A and B are shown apart, each in its own frame.
Chain A
Amino acid sequence: EPEVTQTPSHQVTQMGQEVILRCVPISNHLYFYWYRQILGQKVEFLVSFYNNEISEKSEIFDDQFSVERPDGSNFTLKIRSTKLEDSAMYFCASRYYEQYFGPGTRLTVT
């Protein structure tokens, strides 16, 4: 069964560093998403992407964040200058009808 994949599974970075989280959505899906989940809290929407552009973003998704679909298969989330409060699990999702989530990348900012 097709699935969303994410790499790396865990990333540790120092405050102020740039990170890129990678996702490979399910191949025939048209909508792509990033969500985050701070430890012990609910899942929060960051951004949605459709037809090669951002279709919606939340107030969390400020200028430090960007998304890209560079090659028609990968979907990336970049955080330019990480802060301690960016530590969270980041989930990628893709959708045709239902949103299917990847296994997540745990980002730890020290």
Chain B
Amino acid sequence: AQKVTQAQTEISVVEKEDVTLDCVYETRDTTYYLFWYKQPPSGELVFLIRRNSFDEQNEISGRYSWNFQKSTSSFNFTITASQVVDSAVYFCALRQGETSGSRLTFGEGTQLTVNP
């Protein structure tokens, strides 16, 4: 069975602070994919990143960076110099390898509030 845990229910920071959102996953598959999605107050789900289980290289995209560590089954997400527009719920998700269904299993989400 797959499971994703986001232990931080809510985080509140002041603008320009760095913030890290934690994600821990469980799976018995050797091939899997990890994702982060952003859900702003308007409600849509915005794809941010996908990593596969064979690629532990950390990734940076502008103010966003992701730290994937298989040894601790974690896929953490850091926002540098946070902005008010970063306020949203962030979901980490896991997908098994390339089967035809390949459902996403989501964590509970972390509500990030960035205050001016």
Contact = CB atoms under 8 A, between A and B. Distances in A.
A75 interface: no
> At the interface, is chain A mostly helix, strand, loop or mixed?
strand
B43 A103 contact: yes
A11 to B, nearest CB: 14
B102 A31 contact: yes
A48 B106 contact: no
A43 B45 contact: yes
Interface residues of B, number: 23
B5 to A, nearest CB: 11
Interface of B: 35, 37, 42-47, 50, 91, 93, 95, 99-109
Interface of A: 31, 33, 35, 41-45, 48, 50-51, 55-56, 58, 89, 91, 93, 95, 97-104, 106
